[in-house]
Amino acid sequence: METVAQIPKYNLNEEEEKKLILREYRSLLKGLKTKLKPGDKYLIRTAFEMAAEAHKTMRRKSGEPYILHPIAVAKICADEIGLGVRSTICALLHDTVEDTDISLEDVKREFGEEITRIVDGLTKISNVIDVNASQQAENFKKILLTLTDDPRVILIKLADRLHNMRTLDSMKRETQLKISSETVYVYAPLAHRMGLYNIKTEMEDLAMKYMEPEVYKDIARKLSETKKERTKYINEFIKPIKDKLDKAHLNAEIYGRPKSIHSISNKMKKKGVDFEEVYDLFAIRILLNSTPEKEKEDCWKVYSMISDEYNPSPERLRDWLSNPKSNGYEALHTTVMGPEGKWVEVQIRTKRMNEIAEKGLAAHWKYKEGASDESRFDKWFQQIREVISNQETDSIDFLQDFKTSFLAEEIYVYTPKGDVKMLPVGSTALDFAFSIHSAIGVKTIGAKVNHKLVPISHKLLSGDQIEIITSNKQKASEDWLGFVVTSKAKGRIRDALKEEKRKVADEGKYTLQRKLEGLGAAFNHHNIDELVQWYKLSSHLDLFYQVSVKNIDLKDLKDFKVFGDKIESPKPLKIQSEKGEYIPQPGKKDAELIIFGESSDKIVYNLANCCKPIPGDDVFGFVTTGKGLTIHRTNCPNAAKLLANYGHRVVKTKWAKNKEISFLTGVKIVGMDDVGVVNKITMLISGELKINISALTIEAKEGLFEGNIKLYVHDKEELDNLVKSLMALPGIESVERYDMEDIPS
């Protein structure tokens, strides 16, 4: 997908609307044609009429009739995910129970138990991203529980989210940001984990269109400009391989496709290169028409032909034929050096493997005989069930853990007896210990990986064989949370630490009780809450623990007033900024649009250190406890997490034109090390452009220099102008703004 079409403004009359709805409905039926059994058409028609009637007075933000949304979701389920008739009915009804007068009983009476269960699951999820962050994560757990009962719930939800992303243009800016962040944070990784690569890619691209519009447009434009030469190159690359395949009588299709805008942008950020330097802008895909028993053999034959023709990069071979991913993905990937010295990624798979790669989990039900793949998915669901059923941790932690633990790529490792365990990439020996049993995890003191002694934080690789060493004297430690990645390990470590903390806190509880009673106040819920707030702690347990370890001096209690048996803190617990100025509270009407940057402004804000925004950057405000409003760039590394988890604390924010205030930012310059180069740079910045330099370091090495300059600019326009002027200097190779936390201190 190189560009995304804009939604035309909606202006149809009633007659045209009816025709449009009918046309969309017929198109849905057409996609299901091969799956329809006798009686199915009647059921789909009933669901359609039920939904159309229920939603008849509702409109979407774009102005179009609401019923077009459930039809579109049902079409995505049928055409792009490959689901069948029952899922289509559920997709048509997915919003009815929540948004209209239709009840689950009505659905059950009309369609039976199975469809009702799925619609119920979808209704629970629809509140997932709620204004209250922990509420959101609680609901997210509900989705996962439903998901493990019937994965169709999540597949239909992904279709719903994809259609919302495709029609996001008519939403307000802050809604676009919030929905895009949630999509990139939870839904795209979930689509990836379900094996829906096309949907994952489109979600990421669409999210980027709203979160980083400038970068998105720039890459889309460059992709479109280079399309002709890419096509020419792909044809040149394919020709010799096509000849070899024909000679070997292998029936195959070959085509090239561009990488997604999001993945190109990621490469540019990670490698610090320009668009022109991203070597694998496209991948070549070879699809074989093989019989099931010859699939592997044919794929390896094709690999051999490619590596005869072009030099492969040995460390870039990925063999998912011998060990498919847990979402069922099977293929051979290799990267080879093509003509004109360009690297090209080649993916080799059969038609069956391709269907699983495109339709993910849904395709599994079609190829049920692949029992090993089925069991892989079942294992994954089983792990999720286990974690959720023991889940006591903070809900936000849960969402974060779920991401790292279940939405990551996985590795396969072995026990000393040769049993295989599936763990997320980045797992340590300690994660492995917890995956065997919690009791082993908490007693782990070390491990042997491939018979060599390693520390518990040692990162595992696919194929490692691990033996765990334990001791009864070992106890869980806080720093373990810093290196384990699986939900199970994090949950069990937190439980063990809590238990330990509880024992210590008991002592503090009695100390506090004696103190309060000495003041004539009661040891009750109200008084403890008052103290928890006063000391800015998160729970009663924390308060007792801090008293016990003497981090809190109870002499402060003499400043509290006692009324009857209740205490009252000495001064009001208001969040105050240094200047004591007004801080916007989320959810209030007057905080909807904050214009700041003017010296007369009364709103206190901080610029986030993680991304150092400057006027002109695309930004949002985030209400932080104790600090008021913090301003982040929408492409800040922390943006997706903040917007997805704490959407209710986000304030729509806009810069005001102001040339009085300067903002600290930084640029990194790379160029040829030449006499007087520093002088040229400083003359341009300070002399010509009159920009104030805060710090400058230049390091020369083997004919190249790298300069880091911290400087004060008024806005993004001034920074862009500076970058352009520096690039125009002779011998300068690249100039880029420091990405966020990289500004050297």
How would residue 134 be classed by pLDDT, with cut points 50, 70 and 90?
very low
**C-alpha span between 81 and 86 (Å, rounded):** 13
Q: Give residue 71's pLDDT.
A: 92
3-class DSSP assignment, residue 320: coil
Domains of the chain listed by start with CATH number:
14-211 (1.10.3210.10), 222-367 (3.30.460.10), 495-568 (no CATH), 589-655 (no CATH), 663-742 (3.30.70.260)
Q: Determine the average pLDDT of the residues in 653-664.
A: 72
Q: Which two tokens stand for residue 690?
A: 């009159």
Q: Is the dihedral of CA 304, 310, 313, 317 positive or negative?
A: negative
In this prediction, residue 298 carries a pLDDT of: 92
Crossing angle of helices 525-534/540-548, nearest 10°?
Answer: 70
3-state secondary structure of 557: helix
Q: What is the pLDDT of residue 430?
A: 94
As a whole number of angstroms, the distance between CA 79 and CA 29 comes to 10
Strand partners for 414: 420, 465
Mean pLDDT of the chain: 78
Which DSSP state fits 330?
A: -
The DSSP string of 136-179 is HHHHHHHHHHHHHH-THHHHHHHHHHHHHHHTGGGS-HHHHHHH
Q: What pLDDT does residue 599 have?
A: 38
Q: Is the pLDDT of residue 542 over 90?
A: no
Does the active-site annotation cover 340? no
Strands 663-672 and 732-737, by their bridges, are antiparallel
CB 419 within 8 A of CB 433: no
Planar angle of CA 175, 181, 186, nearest 5 degrees:
125
In this predicted structure, what is the pLDDT of residue 306? Answer: 92
- Mean pLDDT computed over 255-267: 82
**The one-letter amino acid at 715:** D
**pLDDT at residue 671 is higher than 60:** yes
More confident residue, 347 or 192: 347
Whole-angstrom distance, CA of residue 280 vs CA of residue 291: 31
Take residue 385 and report the two structure tokens written for it.
């069930």
Query: What mean pLDDT comes out for the span 427-445?
Result: 90
Residues 593-645: tens digit of each pLDDT: 444 444 334 566 778 888 888 888 888 888 776 667 788 888 887 887 777 77
Poorest-confidence range of 238-252, 327-341, 510-524, 725-739? 510-524
In three-state secondary structure terms, 304 is helix
Give the pLDDT confidence score for residue 152 in this predicted structure: 79
What pLDDT does residue 702 have?
78
Q: How far apart are CA 211 and CA 619, in angstroms?
A: 9
Per the document, the length of the chain is: 745
Please classify residue 56 by burial: count the beta carbons closer than 10 Å to its beta carbon, then call 0-12 exposed, 13-18 middle and 19+ buried. exposed
3-class secondary structure, 412: strand
Q: Are strands 566-568 and 561-563 parallel, antiparallel or unpaired?
A: antiparallel
Given the residues 2, 17, 79, 99, the one annotated as active site: 99
pTM for the structure as a whole: 0.62
Predicted confidence (pLDDT) at residue 370 exceeds the cutoff of 60? no
pLDDT of res. 597: 45
pLDDT at 280: 65
Q: Which of 232-241, 322-331, 495-504 has the lowest mean pLDDT?
A: 322-331
- For 318, half-sphere exposure in the C-beta direction (CA atoms, 13 angstrom radius) is 15
Predicted confidence (pLDDT) per residue in 686-738, tens digit: 888 888 888 888 888 778 888 888 888 888 888 888 888 888 888 888 888 87
In angstroms, the CA 468 to CA 239 distance is: 53
Cβ burial of 651 (10 Å; 0-12, 13-18, 19+) is buried
- Please tell me the distance from the alpha carbon of residue 295 to that of residue 389, in angstroms, as a whole number: 40
Q: Which helix (H) or strand (E) holds 349?
A: strand 343-350
Residue 407 pLDDT:
61
* Burial letters 172-198, b for 16+ CB under 10 A, else e: eebebbbbbbbbbbbbbbbbbbbbbbb
Which residue from 610, 643, 715 is spatially nearest to 211, judged by alpha carbons? 643
What three-state secondary structure class fits 418? Answer: coil
31: amino acid identity, one letter: G
Per residue in 62-78, pLDDT (tens digit) is 788 888 999 999 999 88
Tokens 């880029």 -> residue: 736
What pLDDT was estimated at residue 239? 92
At 410, phi and psi to the nearest 5?
Answer: -120, 165
Residue 152 · residue 129 · CB < 8 Å: no
User: What is the distance between the alpha carbons of residues 615 and 716, in angstroms, rounded to a whole number?
Assistant: 6
Dist. CA 433–CA 443, nearest whole Å? 9
Residue 17 annotated to the active site = no
Active-site residue, from 98, 106, 218, 565: 98
Query: What is the model's pLDDT at position 137?
Result: 54
Query: pLDDT-based confidence at 204, cuts 50/70/90?
Result: very high
d(CA 524, CA 558): 18
Does the structure show a pLDDT above 60 at 583? Answer: no
Q: Encode pLDDT of 278-288 as tens digits.
A: 766 778 899 99
The amino acid that residue 480 corresponds to is W
Residue 473 pLDDT > 80: yes
Give percent above pLDDT 70 in the chain.
Answer: 80
List helix spans (H) across 310-437: 351-359, 361-366, 371-389, 395-406, 429-436
Please state, in angstroms and rounded to a whole number, the distance separating the CA atoms of residues 76 and 163: 8
pLDDT, position 601:
47
Task: Judge whether 590 and 597 are in contact, CB under 8 Å.
Answer: no
Confidence of residue 390 (pLDDT cuts 50, 70, 90): low
Write phi, then psi, for 744 (nearest 5 degrees).
-65, 140
Asked if pLDDT for residue 589 goes beyond 50, the answer is no
102 pLDDT higher than 90: no
User: What is residue 584's three-state secondary structure?
Assistant: coil
Structure tokens at 489: 């390990």
pLDDT attached to residue 371: 40
- Segment 214-222 mean pLDDT: 89
Distance, in Å, from the CA atom of 669 to the CA atom of 745, rounded to the nearest integer, reads 17
Q: What's the confidence (pLDDT) of residue 144?
A: 60
Q: How far apart are CA 185 and CA 207, in angstroms?
A: 10
In the predicted structure, residue 654 carries a pLDDT above the cut 80: no
